[in-house]
Structure 1
Amino acid sequence: MSRAAADTTSLKRSLGIPTLVVFGLAYLVPMTVFTTYGIVNEITGGYLSSAYLLTLLAVLFTAISYATLSRKITSAGSAYAYTRQGFGPKVGFLTGWTVMIDYVLLPMLNYLLIGVYLTQQFPAVPGWVFALLALVVVTGLNIVGIDAVKSANVVIIALQAVFFVVFFAIAAQSFQPGVNAFDPFVRGDFNLAAVTAGAAILCLSFLGFDAISTMAEEARDPQRTIPRAIVTTTVIAGVFFIAVSWVAYMTFPEVITGEGADSAALSMLAHLGGNLLTSLFLAAYVTGAMGSALASQASVSRIMYSMGRDRVLPHRVFGTLSQRFRTPTGAILVVAVISISAVFSSVDFVASIVSFGALTAFSLVNLSVISVFLIKKNVPGKKSIFIHGCLPTIGFALTVWLWTSLSLTTLVVGLCWIAVGLLYLIWLTRGFKRPVPEMTTP
C-alpha cells in the first residue's frame, strides 16, 4: 500500500501528554464531584472524602495496569485490546461488549443531566430540547475530527477551572468552627461497608484515564505518552476530588438525606455563595457535561471502530473511516442514535450501569497484566513479579471488592448485558466453529 493510501485509512497522530491529560480530565468532568455529592454523602454518612480516597487507591492500581499494557499494545480499543492479548479473542470480545455499555451510556448520561439542570434554570423549555441540541453539537464536533475535540476540551476545562477558583476562594473563608481537619475522613461513627458502597459509585468519576487508552492510534509516541497520561490523569483527578469533598465538608458538614440528597450540592453552594455561586455552578456544570459527552463519544466510537475493523461488529458501519475527516463516522452516528433515548432514561439507573461496566473492565485488565507478562511472556525477575504480579493482583482485589458493593439490580442488568454479548458471540462464530477475527494493527 502506498504512503498516500495508508494516510487516508489510518487515524491521525496529533496528541501529546498535555493534550491527553486534558482529554482525560474533560472526560471524567471535574464537576462530577457535585453530581454524586449528596448521594454518596448520604450512603456513607458524611464520609465522601474517605470514599474518594478508597476509590483513588483502587483505581490507581488499575491505572498502573493500563499503563503497563499500553506500552506493549498501541492499537485503539482500550480494555478490549488488552484482554484480547491476555485471554484471547473471545474474552476480548466480551470485555469490549461490556465496555461498550459503559461508554455508550456515558454520553447519554451527560445529555440527560444537561437537560435536567437547564430545565431547572429555564422551566419553560423541556429538558429533551437541551439534550438534543447538545447531542447535535457534540456529534458534529466528533465527526469533524479529533483536533476539534482537542480545542473544545481546552475551553471546557478552562471554564470549569474558573468555577473552582471562585469556589475555593469563598470556601477558604467559610470553614465551620469546631470541625476537625480529619473529620471528613475518620470520626466515631465510621462505617467501612458504607464507605465501600459509596466508593463503588464514585468509580464513575475516574473513567477519564481509561478513555485515554482508546486514543493510542492518535497519540504521538504512544508507548511513552499514553502510560504517563493515564497515571497523571488518575492522580490529578483523585487528589482534586478529595480536596473538593474535604473543603465542602469543612464548610458544610451537614448530611442531607431523603429527597433532598440529589440536590444537596446546590444547598451547599447556596450556603457558601448564594445565587451567584449556584448560577456559576450551573454554567460550569453544563459545560463540563458537554466536555464529558464530547470525550466519551469520541472514545466509544474508536472502540467500535477497532471492533468493526476486526469484523467483530459489522465492518461497513463500524470499521471504516470518513475519507474527508478520517474519523469513524459510522460509529459516531450509532452512538448518537442510542443517546437519543436519554429522553426516557433515569440518571440513577444509567450511572449505576456505567459503574458496572467500568469495574468489570478494570478487573479483567488487571488480570490481563498477569496473563501477558507472567504467564505468556514469562518475564523473569523480582521486579517483574512486583510490577506484573503483585500490583495487578491488588488492583483486581480492590475492583472486585467495589464491584460486589453495587446494588443487586445493577449486577443483574449488567450480567444480562454480558449474556446477550455471549449469545451474539456464539452466533458470530457459528457455535464457536469459526474463530473470532484476530486483532489487527493499522
Structure 2
Amino acid sequence: MDESVKLQRSLTLLPVVLFGFSFMAPATVFSTYGIAAQLSHGMVAGSYVIALCVMLFTAYSYGQMAKEFPYSGSAYTFAQKSINSYFGFLVGWSILLDYLFIPMVNYLLFGIFFSAAFPAIPSYVWILLMLILVTGVNILGLKLANAVNVIATVIVICFILIFCVLSIRSILNGEGTGLFFTIAPFYNPDEHFSFLLAGASLLCFSFLGFDSVTTFSEEIVNPKKNIPRAVFIITLVGGLVFIVVSYVAQNVWPDYQSFKDPDSASFEIIKLIGGSFLSGAFLVLFGVGVFVSAMASQASAARVLFAMGRDGQLPRRVFGHLNVKLKTPVNNILIISLFSLLALVLSLSLVASFINFGAFLAFTCVNISVIAHYFFRRKMRSFKGTVLNLVLPLVGAVLDIWLLVNLDTHSKTLGGLWLVAGIVYLIFLTKGFKKQPPEIKVSA
C-alpha cells in the first residue's frame, strides 16, 4: 500500500453527528412502533427511556476509547490496542456482522416497501437501484456523501417535526386520549414492569449505529475532542427523538391492540393525523431514510475493512488500499456492494439475526477495553478513576451481555458460527497462534 495516500481530515462535529444519525436512522421509531407497543403494553416511551439509559453506558465507553485511539476501526482498534491483537481481531471479525449486514437490511426494506407500493416493479429492481446509487456516492468520497447526507437527514428531521406537530394538534382537538400530559406512555401501574423491560430489549436495537462515527476517526478534525462529543450527542438526541415520537403516537392512538397490522401501525397513525398527503410523504421519507442509512453504514464498513487490511489481518493489497485520487477505500466499498447482493436471496429476519449478535458482542468488548486500558494498564484507580474506568464500563458490559444472552436462538446460533469461522481464520493467520496477528504500530 502507498503509505503516502491517507484518509483526509475533512469532517467537523456537525457533519459527523448527522452521519451518525443517518446510520441510526431516527425514522426507525416508526417501523418498530407497533410491535414495541404490543410488547410493552402501550408503554413504548418508557421502554425507550430504559433503552436510552442502557446505551448511554456503552456510548460513554466508545467516547473514552476514541480519545486514546483516534484511528479507523472502531471496536476492532480499541480491543486490539487495549487488550491484545488476538482479541482485537476477533472483535473486528464480530463487528463485521453489524457493518456488513446493516446496508443489506436497508436494501431489503427498500425493496419490500416499494415493491408493495408499486407491485408492477419487482423488489430486486428497487434493491439494485438503491445499491448502485449508494455505492456511487460513497466511492466519490465523504465530501459528496456528507452533502447528500445533510440534505437527506434534514428531510427526515422535518418529517418527524411535522408528525409531532400534527399529533399534538390532533390530541388537543380531542383525538386519542385528548391529554397532552399523561404518564401512561411511560408507565401504567395496571401493567407489570416486565412489559417495559420486554419493550426495552427490542428498542435497544433502534440505537444501533451510534458507534459508527468512530470508524471515521482518521477523517475527522480534532478527533479526540469531536468523536466523544458526537457519540454522546447521537445517542442522547436520538433517544430523546424516539421518546417524544412514541409519546405523542401513544396519545394519538392509545389502543395498541386495535392496529390492523403491528408492522404498519405507524402508517395507520400517520394517515389518521395527516391523511393521504402525509402518508404519501411518509413513503418519500422511508426512501430517503433508507438511502442515508445505507450510505452511512456502507461507508463505515469500508473503513473497518480498511483498518483490518492496513494492519495485515486481511489481505493488505485488497483491503488496505486507498484510491490515490479520491482518497477513499474503493475496493472495500465495491466488495461490500457485491456482498450486499445477497439481499436478493436472503430474508430480512435472517440478516437481522446476524446484526444483533455482532453489535452487542462489540459493545461488550468496548466496555471491557475501557477497563483493561484505563483501570489496569494506566492504573487510573482513584475514587473518580474507579467510577469512570471500572464501575461505569462494567455496568455497560453487564447490560450488553444481558441483551446478548436474551437474543433469539437464531441470532446466537448464526452469530456463534460466524465467530467460530473467525477463530479458524485466526488460527490460519497466526500459524496456530505461534505468532502475533499483524497490526499497525501507533502510539497511545
TM-score (norm 2): 0.95
Structure 2 CA distance for aligned equivalents of residues 296 and 38 of structure 1? 25
- Map residues 351-366 of structure 1 onto 2, 5 A cutoff: 351-366=352-367
Contact 1:68-1:227 within 8 A present in 2 as well:
yes
Q: Which amino acid aligns with 2:366?
A: V
Structure 1 CA distance for aligned equivalents of residues 362 and 68 of structure 2? 18
Q: Unpaired segments of 5 or more residues in structure 2?
A: none
Q: What's the CA shift for 1:356?
A: 1.9
Contact 1:307-1:313 within 8 A present in 2 as well:
yes
Q: Which amino acid aligns with 2:170?
A: S
Contact 2:313-2:437 within 8 A present in 1 as well:
yes
Contact 2:48-2:243 within 8 A present in 1 as well:
yes
Task: Find the residue that maps to 2:261 and give its secondary structure.
Answer: helix
Structure 1 CA distance for aligned equivalents of residues 349 and 48 of structure 2? 19
Q: Which residue of 2 aligns with 1:109?
A: 105
Contact 2:178-2:251 within 8 A present in 1 as well:
no
Structure 1 CA distance for aligned equivalents of residues 69 and 123 of structure 2? 42
Q: Which residue of 2 aligns with 1:22?
A: 18
Q: Which residue of 2 aligns with 1:177?
A: 177
Q: Which residue of 2 aligns with 1:97?
A: 93
Task: Find the residue that maps to 2:79 and give its secondary structure.
Answer: helix
Q: Which amino acid aligns with 1:71?
A: K
Q: Which amino acid aligns with 2:271?
A: A
Indicate yes or no: 2:127 matched with 1:131.
Answer: yes
Q: Which residue of 2 aligns with 1:383?
A: 384
Contact 2:259-2:268 within 8 A present in 1 as well:
no
Contact 1:203-1:358 within 8 A present in 2 as well:
no
Q: What's the CA shift for 1:146?
A: 0.9
TM-score (norm 1): 0.95
Q: Which amino acid aligns with 1:141?
A: V
Q: What's the CA shift for 1:294?
A: 0.3
Consecutive aligned runs of 4 or more in structure 1 exceeding 6 Å deviation = none
Deviates more, 1:89-98 or 1:191-200: 191-200
Contact 1:61-1:391 within 8 A present in 2 as well:
yes
Q: Which amino acid aligns with 1:273?
A: G
- Map residues 17-56 of structure 1 onto 2, 5 A cutoff: 17-56=13-52
Indicate yes or no: 2:74 matched with 1:78.
Answer: yes
Q: What's the CA shift for 1:435?
A: 1.2
Q: Which amino acid aligns with 2:197?
A: T
Structure 2 CA distance for aligned equivalents of residues 39 and 350 of structure 1? 19
Q: Deviations over 1:209-254 (max 9, x none)?
A: 2001111000011111111111111111011111111111010112
Q: What's the CA shift for 1:182?
A: 0.8
Indicate yes or no: 2:17 matched with 1:12.
Answer: no
Structure 2 CA distance for aligned equivalents of residues 162 and 174 of structure 1? 18
Distance 1:239 1:135, change over 3 A: same
Indicate yes or no: 2:114 matched with 1:121.
Answer: no
Q: Which residue of 1 aligns with 2:188?
A: 187
Contact 1:26-1:295 within 8 A present in 2 as well:
yes
Distance 1:189 1:398, change over 3 A: farther
Contact 2:259-2:265 within 8 A present in 1 as well:
no
Q: Which residue of 2 aligns with 1:416?
A: 417
Deviates more, 1:415-424 or 1:175-184: 175-184
Q: What's the CA shift for 1:396?
A: 1.2
Q: Which residue of 1 aligns with 2:309?
A: 308
Q: What's the CA shift for 1:189?
A: 4.2
Q: Which amino acid aligns with 2:415?
A: G
Q: Which amino acid aligns with 2:223?
A: P
Q: What's the CA shift for 1:376?
A: 1.0
Q: Which residue of 2 aligns with 1:335?
A: 336
Contact 1:200-1:403 within 8 A present in 2 as well:
no
Indicate yes or no: 2:282 matched with 1:281.
Answer: yes
Q: Which residue of 2 aligns with 1:246?
A: 247
Aligned length: 438
Distance 1:290 1:133, change over 3 A: same
Q: Which residue of 1 aligns with 2:148?
A: 152
Q: Which amino acid aligns with 1:204?
A: F
Distance 1:207 1:150, change over 3 A: same
Q: Unpaired segments of 5 or more residues in structure 1?
A: none
Q: Which residue of 2 aligns with 1:197?
A: 198
Structure 1 CA distance for aligned equivalents of residues 310 and 177 of structure 2? 60
Deviates more, 1:110-119 or 1:254-263: 254-263
